Structure 1
Amino acid sequence: MNRLLRRSLATLVMIAAIVLPTAFSATSAQAATYACTSAATIGGLSVPVYHTGAGETQYCTMSTSQSATWNGGAFALQYALHTCYGYDLEIDGHFGPDTKKFLAKAQAREGITGDGVYGPITSSHLKFVLAASPSKCGGRV
């Protein structure tokens, strides 16, 4: 009986080691809890941000669920998709289907999952425009 109990316990520990890390890990978009609502200059680049009480963070998300209202973060993203990647999309500050489509293309071009959802991984891989020279593409945040 003691041997059976030890085997069962060992099996349970192995299952927990496999299941628990995936049960509590977040996807790139889920890792950020704030929705991008504005744009700011970070590292000389104009990037989508969320304004907190203490400043701003580029660790935010955007998706088509935010398409109803004008969004400075969506505007900055669209401008970057047009200027840095050459995509012909309307720069209107609304994260709609075209923004999602071209974001997915830019994500794939940068070697990350092309899901069309903006989050922390996307923000660290995309190129953004220079805040001081908006017609020029800068680099990555």
Structure 2
Amino acid sequence: MRRIVPASLATAALAFGLLGIGTGTAQAATASCTTSTLDMGVIVPSTSSYSTDCLLGQGNQSEAVEVLQSALSVCYGQNIASDGVFGPATKSALVAVQRQIGVSADGVYGPNTRNHMKFIKGSISAGDSVCRVY
């Protein structure tokens, strides 16, 4: 059985992070990242249930965006603020990093980008690198 959602409800749901970003089936079923978690030794964006299979895109505003921005800045030298707001500067920085790491440069953070990106490590020893790939 298929459910039809009126465009106005879908737009409101997307604005509040209730629908995934994008139009593909896999993306529509993926939740927005809202917080962060320490996973495999790095701090990564996650959902409130700590799933790292989540999406971030322009318009999102959360702790997860701040974690992404910090990784883009610290690990890749992108000159952006870590303010938790996914605006045009964050999208541009993400596209540049996506090109650098060889994934689809669409400006949307999701599992494929996560699996190829460096993030800030949860603990660092003297002489140790601050970032590593998830």
CA distance in 2, matches of 1:109, 1:46: 21
Over alpha carbons, which structure has the higher Rg? 1
Aligned to 2:109, which of 110, 118, 133? 118
Identity %: 34
In the TM superposition, residue 65 of structure 1 has moved relative to its aligned partner by 2.6
Task: Verify the 8 A CA contact 1:110 1:126 in the aligned structure 2.
Answer: yes
Does 2:75 correspond to 1:78?
A: no
TM-score, normalised to structure 1, is 0.70
CA distance in 2, matches of 1:58, 1:122: 11
Sort the Cα spacing of 1:31 and 1:140 in 2 relative to 1 into closer, same or farther, 3 A.
farther
How many corresponding residue pairs? 108
CA distance in 2, matches of 1:95, 1:136: 26
1:47 match: 44
In the TM superposition, residue 32 of structure 1 has moved relative to its aligned partner by 5.3
Root mean square deviation of aligned Cα: 1.9
CA distance in 1, matches of 2:28, 2:40: 22
1:10 match: none
Structure of higher RCO (CA pairs closer than 8 Å, 6+ residues apart): 1
CA distance in 1, matches of 2:25, 2:111: 12
1:139 match: 132
In the TM superposition, residue 31 of structure 1 has moved relative to its aligned partner by 6.5
AA of the residue aligned to 1:64: Q
TM-score, normalised to structure 2, is 0.74
Task: Please give the per-residue CA displacement for 1:59-103, whole angstroms capped at 9, x wherever unaligned.
Answer: 00001131xx4x111011000001110011111011111000000
Return the structure number with greater helix share. Answer: 1
Task: Verify the 8 A CA contact 2:59 2:85 in the aligned structure 1.
Answer: no
1:59 match: 53
